[in-house]
């Protein structure tokens, strides 16, 4: 069974640009969450999607946005990049959100963004 796939794995952007990251969840998983990981702040929750609807959002500015498609694949976008946006962006999928289902989040290997 394929795991969570994130693309691109590495990218370099300059301040002011925008970036789009993609996440393909494990087959059958309809919940997709996004996290930002930095050395200073650790892992911080960005948002979570289930069946194309954003159900939960973390404390990030509006420059951070996302969406989910009907096949459960998700994208996140960061506009007007700042130096502080340099981080590892992790996507996780799970079966959570289905009635009565609990369980772990499965993480992808992340997209490492460097903003110059």
Partner 1 sequence: EDKVVQSPLSLVVHEGDTVTLNCSYEVTNFRSLLWYKQEKKAPTFLFMLTSSGIEKKSGRLSSILDKKELFSILNITATQTGDSAVYLCAVEASGNTGKLIFGQGTTLQVKP
Interaction site with partner 1 (CB under 8 A): 3-4, 31-33, 35, 42-45, 48, 50, 55-56, 58, 90, 92, 94, 96-97, 102-110
Q: Shortest distance, CB of residue 42 to partner 1, whole angstroms?
A: 5
Around Cβ 100, how many Cβ atoms within 10 Å?
A: 4
Smallest Cα–Cα separation from 9: which of 114, 116, 115?
114
Q: Tokens 């494990």 belong to which residue?
A: 26
Give the tokens for residue 107. 């993480």
Q: Shortest distance, CB of residue 100 to partner 1, whole angstroms?
A: 12
Q: Shortest distance, CB of residue 89 to partner 1, whole angstroms?
A: 12
Return d(Cα 34, Cα 44) in angstroms, integer: 9
Give the tokens for residue 33. 């969450």
Q: Shortest distance, CB of residue 64 to partner 1, whole angstroms?
A: 15
């Amino acid at each position: 069974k394929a795991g969570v796939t994130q693309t691109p794995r590495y990218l370099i952007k300059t301040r002011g640009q925008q970036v789009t990251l993609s996440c393909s969840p494990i087959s059958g998983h309809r919940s997709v969450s996004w996290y930002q990981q930095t050395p200073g702040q650790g892992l911080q929750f960005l948002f979570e999607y289930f069946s194309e609807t954003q159900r939960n959002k973390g404390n990030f500015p509006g420059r951070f946005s996302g969406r989910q498609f009907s096949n459960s694949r998700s994208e996140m976008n960061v506009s007007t990049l700042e130096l502080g946006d340099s981080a590892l962006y992790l996507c996780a999928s799970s079966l959570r959100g289905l009635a009565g289902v609990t369980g772990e989040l499965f993480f992808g290997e992340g997209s490492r963004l460097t903003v110059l």
